Amino acid sequence: MKEYKTRYEEILKYYQTWLMDFSKLAVRQGMCHQNIYFSHHLMIGCLKFPKKEPINAVVPQCLHKIIFGPLLEKPSPPVDDLNVSLSTQEHLLVHHPMLEGLLLSECVRLKQRSLAKKLISLFQQFSGTEIRLKLVWLCWYDLMLGNDLTDWIESLKFKSEPEIIVWINNRQDENEALTSAMDEYVTFACRTVVAP
């Protein structure tokens, strides 16, 4: 008897395959370090958008572990998943490397196009820098915790590079494990920050 796969499992499998294929190519081409794989394992978690109920989404497993602690067992996705959109944004995945593309695609899939557009603009503003990678991690972090998104939506786009660096440093002071993971990711992905 064939086992039924949920739609969440299908979207997770799609993203995980895409991310690992991209990572393998980047490592093979010498664009990033092979330890990048540790940050590229995904799982089903929750994102919390303003004034909305938490929604299941694909999230980085290592970030989930930093926020919520180690998983004792694999979380099972909700059974009622018939309304789950499987519409990924291939153009975002292709034009925004690794976790950045995944974050943007999930925002659009979950009907948060306005946020995705603001993030794209912000990422383009800091293209080719480690700032871009750190912003991706901090945005995932805020969405998973349900933190206020006012900075992301309204104020970050008006900050200069020195002001953004101060903002990132202040945010990193909130969580030492997050800071360590972000700095490690920047080191391993150092050559993938070049604009596509």
- Rounded distance, CA 47 to CA 21, Å? 25
- For the chain, the domains span 7-188
Cα-based distances in Å from 17 to 9, 13, 41, 185, 194 = 12, 6, 10, 19, 23
**Residue that the structure tokens 């972090």 belong to:** 141
User: What residues have CB less than 8 Å from 128, skipping those under 6 apart?
Assistant: 193, 194, 195
Per-position pLDDT tens, the chain of length 196: 455 567 788 889 989 998 888 888 888 888 888 888 888 899 999 899 888 888 889 999 999 999 988 765 555 555 555 555 555 566 666 666 788 889 999 999 888 999 999 999 999 888 777 899 999 999 999 999 999 999 999 999 999 999 999 999 999 999 999 999 999 989 888 754 444 4
Of the CA atoms within 13 Å of residue 28, those in its CB half-sphere come to 6
Render pLDDT for 169-188 as a digit per residue (tens, 0 to 9). 999 999 999 999 999 989 88
Of 150, 127, 123, the residue nearest 137 (C-alpha): 123
Q: DSSP 3-state assignment of 43?
A: strand
Q: Determine the pLDDT at residue 194.
A: 46
pTM for the full predicted model: 0.84
Render pLDDT for 147-158 as a digit per residue (tens, 0 to 9). 999 999 999 999
